Amino acid sequence: MSYGEAAARCDGGRFVAQLEELVNEYNIVFVSSAGNNGPALATGGAPGSTSIASIGVGAFVSPEMMKDEYSMRETVPENLYTWSSRGPTTNGALGVSICAPGGAIASVPQYELARGRLMNGTSMSSPNMAGGVALLLS
């Protein structure tokens, strides 16, 4: 899921309470984008990086991705995108649990007028990771 909002405190609010109920009582795995407020520490948004009930996903970029997607000749080390939010949370939790490709993803549905548009962000990483988790669970 790609849903986010600023959070004043960790593990708080109505949405996080509902999320924790779904995860703890119904054994649902909740994967959420961490946010795009990096590169500073503790920049994760809610609920992706602020609740222990969700798997917060950051946006990763590899040298191969940089070369293919951005035509870069210079080799860049594997890393989070600079704008990807990071942990830890203000209560000491990890924040970003895992990272997935988050750049130049074509997630725009075919019926949209801008169907050839490539997008960046943890909102692109989260569905990628949700698919990986679904494969592991199946």
Q: Are 93 and 10 in contact (CB under 8 A)?
A: yes
pLDDT digits (tens, 9 = 90+) for 65-88: 887 777 777 777 888 888 899 988
pLDDT digits (tens, 9 = 90+) for 109-128: 667 666 666 778 888 888 88
> What Cα–Cα distance (Å) separates residue 73 from each residue in 66, 78, 79, 111?
9, 15, 17, 35
